[in-house]
Amino acid sequence: MCRHLGYLGPPVPLERLIFDPPHSLATQAWAPRDMRGGGTINADGFGVGWWPPGASAPVRHRSAMPIWTDASLPSLAAATSSGAILAAVRSATVGLPVVETAAAPFTDGRWLFSHNGVVRGWPSAIAAQARDLPVEDLLTLDAPTDSATLWALVRAKLCTGEPPAKAVAAVVTEVAVAAPGSRLNLLLSDGEQLIATTFGHALSVRPSRDSTLISSEPLDPGPAWQPVPDGHLVVATAGQVEITPL
């Protein structure tokens, strides 16, 4: 599968999420606790995106290599702070390419997007959904993968003005019907809100008075972490979380 996280709140160094906690994202790359049969480690690339203060669009750093092999990332993560962060480590589905452009987060304009899971029977299973996409979107996919296709489907709905939560929920429900057995944990952010789903995989949230942290697996053993039930939609801002059935 993959592991991902999203944060909104007071600015913190990237290392506070990626490296410092006892079960940080970097640790989840080589020692995940809940892969549900989707591989054993997340060594097929990683990415981190963040919104600099006052910026309307995020900055992104991606690689096709395991996160622990990037010698420059620890110093970058220590020197860079943000109040809006989305990061992921990748375990590629068998047969799909291991390239930098296949690693989340995917981006367009102010958005960052990640997918933890697999679309069963891709690409034929969701060919009908992809047929409705603009041809230019299909020709400019970051990579020929199920995750990049999901991002194209979500992005197309966003471009029509559909509210983010509705767009994400619609893609999950449509793909779940077309490709039974898929795992569709999606994570979307524009730097002001986090939209996430649980569909076939785990997710936890840690809200506080002025921040919200969403992660595939809790970063620490603290009691503030709350598991999100399967088949649910999370809509969060800094310090506020709403969880509803899909």
Catalytic positions, please? Answer: 2
Whether the CA torsion 133, 100, 167, 82 is positive or negative: it is negative
The amino acid occupying position 185 is: N
Other Cβ atoms less than 10 A from the Cβ of 29: the count is 24
**Sheet strand arrangement including 111-118:** 106-108, 111-118, 183-189, 194-198, 232-237, 240-245
Distance in angstroms (rounded) separating the CA atoms of residues 234 and 111:
17
What tokens were used for 234?
């999370």
Other Cβ atoms less than 10 A from the Cβ of 173: the count is 15
Distance in angstroms (rounded) separating the CA atoms of residues 119 and 150:
9
Query: Nearest to residue 96, comparing CAs of 112, 117, 111, 76?
Result: 117
